[in-house]
Structure 1
Amino acid sequence: MPKWEVIQQVFKGIGLFGAYNIRWFNYKHILINLLNEYEYDFKRIWGYQAWFIANQKMEVFKWSLDLNPEKTPSIVLVWISFPNLKLHLFEKSMLLAIAKSIENLLYVNESPANGTKPSMARVYVEYDCFNPLVDSI
């Protein structure tokens, strides 16, 4: 585990907008408590599944009442691709609607909407592995 001062310094450099505190969870885990409603801060921390602090990997888990940091959690982040969509579905609002019907949306890849990658729409979502797979929308 990196030194406490190093951990604090890294979090100061992340660029979070709101207040937060960090404390020890156990001998090899820390708890990051975001004290605000800034969705950006949550996405910034949670959106990267692993951080490196002092050359040590820090995995990020989303808090839940049944969280056991010794086990791999069922909630993961995944990119979902939508190949061969009709042109009108590449609009950001349409991609948002599609993604929300699947899982908790974090990001929409806006490349298709702005024309830089018109062949593949993608969204980044939280996915609970215990849920059944969605095979069509």
Structure 2
Amino acid sequence: MQDARKLLPIQLGTQGRCLVGWLAHRHILVRFDRYDDYGLVVAKTVQYLLYNGLQKQFREFSWTIGFNPKEETSRAFVWISFPNLPPELFAKQSLITVNCLGCW
């Protein structure tokens, strides 16, 4: 575990701190203190950890309250397109803000 705590932040390319600990057999919990680091890690489809000269493949997913290490998890990425969106609305805050003027 000490090796994972040292290697993961470096090999994942995180900028902030991340806490690494055991979650269950063959499952490690990584908590990031920066949202950008979390986004960087989950955006990659395949991750590899270089350890003792060998590349170990792993995948990441968001932890949920109902997590069961014996069940296979699924994840789906969605691409949403906003044709003709004005440039000033490309900011993250603009995209996630709900405007209820046109709500039903």
For Structure 1 versus Structure 2, the TM-score category normalised by the shorter chain is: 0.5 to 0.7
Contact in 1 for aligned 2:19/2:30 (Cα 8 Å): yes
Matched, 1:46 2:42: yes
Q: Which runs of 5+ in 2 are unaligned?
A: 98-104
Identity among equivalent positions (%) equals 14
- Closer/same/farther in 2, CA of residues 95 and 89 from structure 1, 3 Å limit: farther
Structure 1 partner of 2:65: 65
TM-score (norm 2): 0.61
Q: Which runs of 5+ in 1 are unaligned?
A: 102-137
- Closer/same/farther in 2, CA of residues 73 and 90 from structure 1, 3 Å limit: farther
- Closer/same/farther in 2, CA of residues 33 and 90 from structure 1, 3 Å limit: same
Contact in 2 for aligned 1:23/1:32 (Cα 8 Å): yes
Aligned residue-pair number? 93
* Alpha-carbon distance, 1:20 to partner: 1.4
Cα distance in 2 between the residues matched to 1:73 and 1:40? 23
